Amino acid sequence: MFRFVCIVLIAFVAVRGEDEIDNEESRPNLDSFEDEDFETEAPRADEAQDDVPSADQREKSQEELLTELDQQIEENEKQEEINDDDNEDIDKIIISPDRAPTVTLKSGREMPMLGLGTYRLGKSVYKITKEALEIGYRLIDTAKIYEAGRGETSEAAIGRAIENSGVSRDEIFIITKVMPNDFAMSKLRAAVQDSLKKLRTEYIDLLMIHYPDCGEDPSCRATGTYLEGWKNMLQLVEEGIVKDLGISNFFTEEVEKLWVEGGQRISLMQNWLDPYFQDSQTRIITTRTGIQFQAYSVLGAGWLDDGMRKNPILNDKTIKEIASKHLATPAQVVLKWAMARNIAVIPSTTNSTRLYANFNSYKLNIDEQDLKRIDGLDGKIQPLIAYGNSQQKAGGGIFTLMANIASKVKSFLGVGSAGGEL
């Protein structure tokens, strides 16, 4: 009997060990969609690392150790693939060191339509960022809360990668983000100065408000409202250390309030968007106001974080048919569709081949009929996790109302729909 009890206890412990999963913070982390198809968690700063420095290495500088560890990762570690599309024919991809198309922001400055997202790249941030710059990527998206492992932030790893890439700083468009913790001027200035130091730059191309409020995040302590934070960010633009401003995870009511009361200076809006979730209500506002829309999770990672076991976007029948027709990968088709609809994209991957594939997506020529087939996928499934505010679900605020009225009037007069393709 005693032996039987021991066996049962051992089996129970083994099963529990296999089933353990690290929990995310209590607030649904919307940036979990940020790779565009990222599935894995970034290593926490306090996680035990496999790469332990030897006695000789302890005498070297922190930066030298980090660089050596990055080289070991590149040479010895088999990186996990982020893109959940095992059936893609990567051999079809033509690699070229060209530059992605750009869009002119409200400030008059140019921003690449295609860039690299770095959320949850973990200890691959340095390696992938450096490779991306060598390929031709010229936009890097990060945030103060992103980590790169080994106690290093994503910003710091990106700063090292840029410095060692051989690419001139003035060719690179850097986006970073601040949380509500930093809305007060003293906090904001300190946060931006810290970012400048880590990124090894004298200015930030575009600074974003990461979230309008703390929500249910227990680690977040807002030091002001998003409107107060925005006005303080405008001061940094006047000082020249920030060139453009943007917002992330905002929705209709919040965007309208900030647009009216914040000086109409919003250059970029970054939200979750993919073929199944096209954020049409928010995009009505960006279209009307001239704010550039940029999508994260455009390749479907949002659905994985929403609880689905398989990426529905990269496995969608329609998207695969279009990919086969154009001798492309599903990921390339989705990225090209977004850019064709004037949506900037920031896909991520820890896989070097897919990094090339994503970059080359802008070269595809997809006909309007196929683009409309992807437009038609909007709402095919609905998120389980609430995303967006009640204003969006109720049909939006004044901009949305005006657009809907104009659309009905034009439809009645037989002169087409308002706003064109969204």
* Ordered alpha helix ranges (H), 222-296: 226-239, 252-261, 280-289
Residue with tokens 């309208």: 256
What are the structure tokens assigned to 181, written together?
């913790």
Give dist(CA 320, CA 324) in Å, integer.
6
Q: How far apart are CA 33 and CA 14, in angstroms?
A: 32
Q: How far is CA 62 from the centre of its chain?
A: 28
254, 396 Cβ separation under 8 angstroms:
no
Measured in whole angstroms, how far is the alpha carbon of residue 279 from the centre of its chain?
15
Q: How far is CA 422 from the centre of its chain?
A: 20
* Burial of residue 316, with CB atoms counted within 10 A of its CB: 0-12 exposed, 13-18 middle, 19 or more buried: buried
What does the block give as tokens for 223? 């030091």
DSSP string, 230-247: HHHHHHHHHHTSEEEEEE
The answer to whether 146 is a known catalytic residue is yes
120 dihedral zone (left: phi>0; alpha: psi -120 to 50; beta): left
> What is the distance between the alpha carbons of residues 321 and 272, in angstroms, rounded to a whole number?
24
d(CA 257, CA 259): 5
119, 126, 137, 146: which is the annotated catalytic residue? 146
Question: At what angle are helices 125-135 and 154-165 packed, to 10 degrees?
Answer: 40
Cβ contacts of 92-95, under 8 Å, gap ≥ 24? 92/327, 92/328, 92/329, 93/329, 93/332, 93/353, 93/356, 93/357, 93/360, 94/360, 94/363, 95/135, 95/356, 95/360
Q: Which residues are catalytic?
A: 146
